[in-house]
Amino acid sequence: MLDKYNRNINYLRISVTDRCNFRCVYCMPEEGVPLMKHEDILNFDEIFEIAQTAVGLGIEKIRITGGEPLVRRNIIELISRIAKIPGLKDFGMTTNGVYLSKYAQELFDAGLQRVNISLDTMNPEKFNKITRVGNIDEVLKGIEAAKNAGLNPIKINCVIEKSENETDAVEVAKYCKENGLQIRYIREMDLEKGYFWQVKGGEGGACNICNRLRLTSDGKIRPCLFSDLEYDVRKLGAEKAILLAIGEKPERGTINNTNKFNNIGG
Ligand code: SAM
Ligand code: SF4
């Protein structure tokens, strides 16, 4: 469906949880996020209905994100339900990769097509510093498992400070080349300060061609990552919330004071 700036809104990113097993320095406070009440989080029936309604309104591509989507209980069940929505053409997930060694095959069998996995450095100590708790070996095993399961393409999200020539980014690029993975460089952003950049190797951050809506884990449709606009699905119903979000999608991003990456999913 076209918005008022003639952009075809055909991509929905669904955050299924704001929780995560990592605490990346640019995403989460060290102590994690305050617990949302269980009843505030959308259940699978609600998420499925929103996804189905969205596809009915012209969404062709869905990405499951978080927080860390693979920490949500019974996530395979949700994946398998969404994968079967007629008209959905592209179905992916963004994950930190830790649980892929456990779930990659089940995800693929349930109908997930592809994954983006976050990896900012090849240096184990630095990886642990960035994620505060992470073990790089688990992620590398997860990437292997995703390849073996048939998830394709596998893209690596690499957060950079300023440039893809930074040592860490160069080493991640080398690893990607050797392992048949695509790399996307995401320059570190700050939602509250309104610092955002176009993703290199991807389509994020380019307002003039932005085709996205986002669904937060507590049921708000957000038309722009860099705006506070949101439409509550539980109050408005899925169709109205989606139509309002498309109708009011800002021409370009400014700032977002009410979200962090972990609850809007990047
Ligand atoms: N937990 C999953 C993961 O890390 O891939 C999915 C959610 S995470 C919020 C989605 C993406 O946002 C990740 O690739 C992460 O690197 C990126 N991200 C988080 N905080 C960011 C920031 N401040 N600037 C740029 N990208 C960020
Ligand atoms: Fe978790 Fe992903 Fe945020 Fe890192 S970037 S803390 S893995 S949600």
Q: Each residue of 79-136: pLDDT tens digit?
A: 999 999 999 999 999 999 999 999 999 999 999 999 999 999 999 999 999 999 999 9
Helix (H) or strand (E) holding 103: helix 100-110
Looking at residue 33, its pLDDT comes to 84
For residue 266, is pLDDT > 90? no
For residue 179, is pLDDT > 80? yes
- Could you identify the residue written with the tokens 């021409």? 251
Ligand 1 centroid–CA 65 distance in Å is 9
* Angle at alpha carbon of residue 48, lines to 42 and 50, rounded to 5°: 80
Ligand 2 centroid–CA 172 distance in Å is 18
> CB of 185 closer than 6 A to ligand 2?
no
pLDDT confidence of 217, banded at 50, 70, 90? very high
**Ligand 1, CB within 6 Å, residue ranges:** 20, 26-27, 65-66, 68, 94-96, 118, 157, 159, 186, 188-189, 261-262, 265-266
Looking at residue 193, its pLDDT comes to 81
Count Cβ atoms below 10 Å from residue 178 Cβ, excluding itself.
8
The full set of domains in the chain, from first to last, is: 11-264 (3.20.20.70)
pLDDT confidence of 256, banded at 50, 70, 90? confident
- Sign for the CA dihedral angle at 228, 234, 236, 239 comes to positive
CA distance 25 to 37: 24
Ligand 1 centroid–CA 52 distance in Å is 26
Cα-Cα end-to-end distance for the chain:
22
110 is written with which tokens? 């349930």
Looking at residue 206, its pLDDT comes to 87
For residue 209, is pLDDT > 90? yes
Q: Model-level pTM? A: 0.96
Q: Each residue of 22-31: pLDDT tens digit?
A: 999 999 999 9
> What are the C-alpha distances in Å from 152 to residues 19, 146, 239?
26, 8, 31
